[in-house]
């Protein structure tokens, strides 16, 4: 396995109780990183003391609070190596995370955006959760099968695939610095959105060549603190981010059909979550303008019910009523 120099970029905010574990897992890598750049997004807790007390190749920078996306942008721009891996401040890497990235690159040297499967842990974790179990049937269609190591080369021009579904999470991804600079990197406009990282991924897979690893090399921490945002809101934000990407003009015309489908799919998902959240006004708003062909029969029925007074809808949805099947 050829040696590559890797920087790790971390944005942190009020994670004094968790970031030590995250950094310890990074430093325990079979292939250690050359540096760990931590940007503190204006924490009000003891994060700085915790981070500075760790012995290792760590560079700590504190900034005024700008949101997680912009803070990670700062961290990435401070990195000095040719390759940049990202890790959320409460997640964990398994010891082979970076060494497998290096092996994947050795197998597919043309790749400049790498990502792997991941699991979850923590109070709100789902037993047996593997992120790629959620990838839709057919998403891998047209791609070569993974090799004996679980490595697969997706190649360039993958934006349409990643607009349909995005299996990338920053903690499980690594990119070439030159790709990040070429594609425009993180747009701070989206820094506080729940799905800000998807915008960066779309840019990377549009401008770079992609390779993946089926092996789970990282785990995301799932706890009450990172599930406070309504799921309907996340999908609404994603639709808005896609609309902004279309307006900004960085997506070639060949992908405009894929963008329109992705916007509609996000609004359909937002409507489905709004129904579960008993937010009927949002449900109606999100489905307006979505082509009927993209709304399944069940959701169309719920949309009709959502036009009724909210008190009546909740009565219909209550257990042991005639409307139980609509829930």
List, for residues 277-297, the tens digit of each pLDDT value.
999 999 999 999 899 999 999
Are the C-beta atoms of residues 8 and 39 closer than 8 Å to each other?
Answer: no
Q: Give the number of other CB atoms < 10 A from CB of residue 133.
A: 9
State the Cα–Cα distance between residues 233 and 273, nearest whole angstrom. 9
Model pLDDT for residues 294-322, shown as the tens digit of each residue = 999 999 999 999 999 888 888 888 765 44
Residue 126: the pLDDT is: 75
- In this structure, whether the domain defined by 6-226 belongs to CATH 3.90.550.10 is answered with yes
Model pLDDT for residues 46-66, shown as the tens digit of each residue = 999 999 999 999 999 999 999
Model pLDDT for residues 153-189, shown as the tens digit of each residue = 999 999 999 999 999 999 999 999 999 999 999 999 9
Residue 325: the pLDDT is: 41
12-16, 105-109, 227-231, 232-236: range with lowest mean pLDDT: 227-231
Start-to-end CA span in the chain (Å):
54
State the Cα–Cα distance between residues 256 and 251, nearest whole angstrom. 8
Q: What average pLDDT does the structure give for the chain?
A: 92
| Residue located via tokens 């089926």 | 214
Averaged pLDDT, 268-276: 96
Residue 224: the pLDDT is: 63
Residue 326: the pLDDT is: 45
How far from chain centre, in Å, is Cα 8? 17
Residue 125: the pLDDT is: 66
Averaged pLDDT, 90-98: 97
Predicted TM-score (pTM) of this structure: 0.90
Q: 26 pLDDT exceeds 90?
A: yes
For the chain, what are the domain ranges?
6-226, 232-318
Residue 123: the pLDDT is: 79
* Antiparallel, parallel or unpaired: β 35-40 and 6-12: parallel
Residue 311: the pLDDT is: 84
Q: What is the 3-state secondary structure (H, E, C) of the chain?
A: CCCCCEEEEEEECCCCCCHHHHHHHHHCCCCCCCEEEEEECCCCCCHHHHHHCCCCCEEEEECCCCCHHHHHHHHHHHCCCCEEEECCCCCEECCCHHHHHHHHHHHCCCCCEEEEEEEEECCCCCCCCEHHHHCCCCCCCCCCCCCCCCEEEEECCCHHHHHHCCCCCHHHEEEEHHHHHHHCCCCHHHCCCCCHHHHHHHHHHHHCCEEEEEEEEEEEECCHHHCCCCHHHHHHHHHHHHHHHHHHCCCCHHHHHHHHHHHHHHHHHHHHHHHHCCCHHHHHHHHCCCCHHHCCHHHHHHHHHCCCCHHHHHHHHCCCCCCHHHC
State the Cα–Cα distance between residues 218 and 25, nearest whole angstrom. 10
| Residue located via tokens 């945002």 | 229
Residue 315: the pLDDT is: 84
| 186 φ, ψ (degrees, to nearest 5) | -80, 130
Ramachandran region, residue 235 (left: φ > 0; alpha: ψ -120 to 50; beta: rest): alpha
Residue 321: the pLDDT is: 44
98-107, 228-237, 303-312: range with lowest mean pLDDT: 228-237
Averaged pLDDT, 214-234: 81
* Residue 191 or 228, more confident: 191
State the Cα–Cα distance between residues 69 and 192, nearest whole angstrom. 7
Q: Provide the pLDDT confidence category of residue 257 given band limits of 50, 70 and 90.
A: very high
Q: 139 pLDDT exceeds 80?
A: yes
107-121, 162-176, 244-258: range with lowest mean pLDDT: 244-258
Q: 81 pLDDT exceeds 80?
A: yes
- Tell me how far CA of residue 302 lies from CA of 11, 120, 275, in angstroms: 40, 32, 8
Averaged pLDDT, 24-33: 97
């Amino acid at each position: 396995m050829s040696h590559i120099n890797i920087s790790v970029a971390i944005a942190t905010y009020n994670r004094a109780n968790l970031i030590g574990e995250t950094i310890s897992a990074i430093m325990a890598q079979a292939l250690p990183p050359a540096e760990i750049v931590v940007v503190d997004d204006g924490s009000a807790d003891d994060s700085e003391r915790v981070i500075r007390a760790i012995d290792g190749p760590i560079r700590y920078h504190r900034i005024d609070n700008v949101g997680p996306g912009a803070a990670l942008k700062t961290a990435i721009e401070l990195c000095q190596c040719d390759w940049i891996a990202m890790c959320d401040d409460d997640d964990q890497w398994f010891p082979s995370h970076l060494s497998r990235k290096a092996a994947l690159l050795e197998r597919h040297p043309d790749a400049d955006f790498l990502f792997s499967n991941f699991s979850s842990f923590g109070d709100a974790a789902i037993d047996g959760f593997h992120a790629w179990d959620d990838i839709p049937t057919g998403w891998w269609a047209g791609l070569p099968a993974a090799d004996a190591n679980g490595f697969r080369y997706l190649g360039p021009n993958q934006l349409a695939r990643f607009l349909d579904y995005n299996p990338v999470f920053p903690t499980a991804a690594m990119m070439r610095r030159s790709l990040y600079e070429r594609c425009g990197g993180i747009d701070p406009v989206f820094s506080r959105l729940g799905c800000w990282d998807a915008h960066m991924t779309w840019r990377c897979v549009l401008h770079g060549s992609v390779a993946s690893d089926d092996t789970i090399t990282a785990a995301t921490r799932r706890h009450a603190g990172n599930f406070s945002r309504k799921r309907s809101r996340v999908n609404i934000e994603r639709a808005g981010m896609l609309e902004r990407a279309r307006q900004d003009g960085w997506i070639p015309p060949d992908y405009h059909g894929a963008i329109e489908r992705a916007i509609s799919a996000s609004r359909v998902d937002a409507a489905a979550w709004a129904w579960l959240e008993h937010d009927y006004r949002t449900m109606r708003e999100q489905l307006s303008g979505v082509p009927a062909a993209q709304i399944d029969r069940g959701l169309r029925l719920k949309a009709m019910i959502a036009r009724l007074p909210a008190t009546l809808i909740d009565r219909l949805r209550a257990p042991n009523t005639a409307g139980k099947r609509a829930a």
